Amino acid sequence: MRTILLAALALVAALGLGGCAGTGGSGTSPAVGDTGLDRMERLALNANRCWFKSKDPAFASYSLAPELSSFSGRPRFLLVPRGKPEARPLLVVEGQSGSGNVTVYGPLTSDPVGPRIGRDIDRWRGGANDCGAA
């Protein structure tokens, strides 16, 4: 029963947020990509698929911690030590609302896997969804 109630509340919330999206005078709602939220969601999904679900050994010591909230204006996802979601992030991939800018920073950028991370993020930011070469 509780699961059904939670699902119903999630559906109501999603419908309510969708109804607020179209505030422009033209009758068309702005593209979600204008906020950067969908771009960051795509980057996070690609990172999860290519780095973690594929069981890539280069990322075995880390886990993904998404923070895709649009409230801050800077949706982001983090890589943290596996099993320690509260730990200081080792990598931050952060978008900026209203622009295509994506910033990548943290200790992993200086790690041997850093250039690979940069190439993957650049490729995904450009619209590709492939995992590239390991």
pLDDT tens digit string along 83-121? 998 899 999 999 876 677 899 999 999 999 999 999 999
Number of domains in the chain: 1
Nearest CA among 39, 121, 37 for reference residue 79? 121
Residue 121 lies in a domain: yes
Average pLDDT of the chain, as a whole number: 74
Mean pLDDT calculated for residue range 60-82: 82
What type of residue is 101?
Answer: N
Quick check: 109 and 91 in contact, CB under 8 A?
A: yes
Nearest CA among 109, 26, 40, 112 for reference residue 70? 40
Decide the pairing of beta strands 62-67 and 76-81. Answer: antiparallel
Residue 54 lies in a domain: yes
pLDDT band at 9 (very low <50, low <70, confident <90, very high): very low
Residue 66 lies in a domain: yes
Q: What are 68's two structure tokens?
A: 């895709």
pTM of the predicted protein model? 0.68
User: Which comes out higher in pLDDT, residue 23 or 125?
Assistant: 125
pLDDT tens digit string along 30-50? 344 445 678 888 999 999 999
The proportion of the chain whose per-residue pLDDT surpasses 70, expressed as a percent, equals 65
Residue 119 lies in a domain: yes
Residue 12 lies in a domain: no
Residue 99 lies in a domain: yes
Q: Which domain holds residue 68?
A: 32-125
Residue 132 lies in a domain: no
Quick check: 3 and 67 in contact, CB under 8 A?
A: no
**Partners of 103 in the β-ladder:** 94
Mean pLDDT calculated for residue range 51-76: 84
